[in-house]
Amino acid sequence: MDNAYDSVLLMAYGAPEKMEDVRPFLENILRGIPVPKERIETVVHHYELIGGRSPLNDLTARQAQGLQRWLDDRSIPLPVHVGMRFAKPYIFTAISDMVRDGKKRAIGIILAPYRSDPSFEKYQEAVQEVLDTTGVGGEFQVDFVEPWFDHPGFAEAQADQVRAALEQFEPAERPGVRLVFTAHSIPTATAERCPYVQQIETACRHVGARLGEINWELAWQSRSGNPRTPWLEPDVNDRLRELKGEGIERVVLCPIGFISDHVEVMYDLDLEAAQTCRDLGIRMARAGTVNDHPVFIDALGDLVLGKMQAGSTSSK
């Protein structure tokens, strides 16, 4: 097995830890992008409604700890570092620590399984920016794992979370449950330039296949921006209203577009979509994201092994 790598860098979006961090966090994300103040305050209110903080940072840390144990148990001497795009510990800090420790070549795993301009490429750009601004590009490199939307461990971990949600219904009720996968909507123009939708649809099919006889579909959530700009549809709330009209009385919502619970899952689904279901008289259960499910940790370990076995070829 190729032994060229000496570390692992897990990268995630990051989230505010407390209410007073929310506005600076949003300002960091926007960085000069003109967004109406009322939209920003709406998002601030979403954080207020979920208790002022997101669990994403904690869950990312648990994913890293789980992967570190997985590697240690197999005597694979790769320390796991975490770098966030918009919260501490930043990608800059993680890479600085790795260089300080004498690391030369890291396996980079983006904790987002699908490829789109706002996700995969932005992480690559963030890493390159750190290497350029610190001048360490000649002595340190990050080789990225390709999007892992079709990894069987990801599918099995997500399927297991759906099974747990289905347990909230009586066995006789389960055949009538509609499984609605959700993912973050993006502008249709962006979607046409990347494989984001196709990769999410593939992940849905893989999870659905593991669940057997269940009716499932894909809807979208968390759209923002100019309301005149076309985004991926249907919105999950609109689709729930249609399902009610089609006679569906029970649903499981599965946020397959995300791998950790955070504000867009907790507000958009646990609060907003749940309220839509109550208004419609639909019984709803929400499947967990994969979070630090042990099968998902196994999948992360397998991604590391796969990159090691691939040798010196860097993902571009």
Q: What is the CATH number of the domain that holds 109?
A: 3.40.50.1400
Same domain? 126 vs 166: no
SS3 of residue 217 by DSSP: strand
Both tokens assigned to 37: 């103040």
Regarding whether 186 and 170 lie in a shared domain, the answer is: yes
Same domain? For 167 and 250 the reply is yes
130 and 11, same domain (yes or no): yes
| Whether residue 160 is found in the same domain as residue 131 | no
Q: Which tokens is 162 given? A: 């759906």
Residue 243 confidence (pLDDT) above 80: yes
Boundaries of domain holding 32: 7-148+293-310
Q: pLDDT band at 314, cuts 50/70/90?
A: very low
Least trusted range by pLDDT, from 28-37, 151-160, 202-211: 28-37
Token pair in block for residue 199: 């990769």
Q: Do the domain assignments include residue 316?
A: no
In a domain, 1, yes or no: no
- Is position 263 within any domain? yes
pLDDT tier, 35 (very low <50, low <70, confident <90, very high otherwise): confident
Cα 55 off chain centre by? 13
Q: What is the largest CA-CA distance in the chain?
A: 63
Q: Is residue 315 part of a domain?
A: no
pLDDT at residue 315 is higher than 90: no
pLDDT at 316: 42
Tally of structural domains, the chain: 2
| Residue 14 Cα distances to 21, 107, 130, 232, 287, angstroms | 12, 19, 17, 24, 22
The pTM for the full model equals 0.95
Q: Is residue 2 part of a domain?
A: no
Q: 3-state class of 145 per DSSP?
A: coil
What span, in angstroms and rounded, lies between the C-alpha atoms of 111 and 303? 12
φ/ψ region of 247 (left if φ > 0, alpha if ψ in -120 to 50, else beta) reads left
